[in-house]
Amino acid sequence: MDGRDDIEPMKAQEMNDLAAGRTAGVVLEELSAPDTEALLDRVFTAMEQGFQPDRAKDVAAVVQWNVKAPETQYSYHMIFDHGTCRALRGPAENPRTTLALSLPDFLRFIGGDLSSVKALMTGKLKAKGDILFGKHHESFFERS
């Protein structure tokens, strides 16, 4: 992620283990701010590594993720450019879609324990911009 090769990607099972069957409060209590940023770096690195270029060979778009923790919001964005994918810290200038979740729900969502439909229907996922693309871009990744 962002040119750093030293980040160990997080496996989907690790994400689920952190969040599944636990309240949001418990998940948040266990993570301090530095831990949260390191955790998110690992998640986005895993997403880059799980990217399937053939599934997005005709796509040029940016998706922004806003992950809310009690002390702050962490923004990352993913740039898809005709079969390539890069994850970067910080907000994007002009994202096609912006997706926002709490940290525990983000871990459940990325780990496969919370579907996009359920997350949207229950208000756990907030989406702005091209919402259909937000759903479609999930297909660009192989779950680990």
- Is 2 part of any domain? no
- Is 6 part of any domain? no
- Is 7 part of any domain? no
pTM for the full predicted model: 0.82
- Is 48 part of any domain? yes
- Is 129 part of any domain? yes
140: nearest Cα among 67, 62, 36: 62
- What CATH code is carried by the domain that includes residue 19? 3.30.1050.10
3-state SS assignment for residue 119: helix
pLDDT tens-digit profile, the chain (144 residues): 655 556 666 565 665 565 556 555 555 555 555 688 888 998 899 899 999 999 999 999 999 999 998 889 999 999 999 999 999 999 999 999 999 999 989 988 888 888 888 999 999 999 999 999 988 888 999 865
Dist. CA 121–CA 116, nearest whole Å: 8
- Is 1 part of any domain? no
- Is 72 part of any domain? yes
Residue 2 has what pLDDT? 56
Structurally, the chain folds into a number of domains equal to 1
Residue range of the domain that includes 104: 12-140
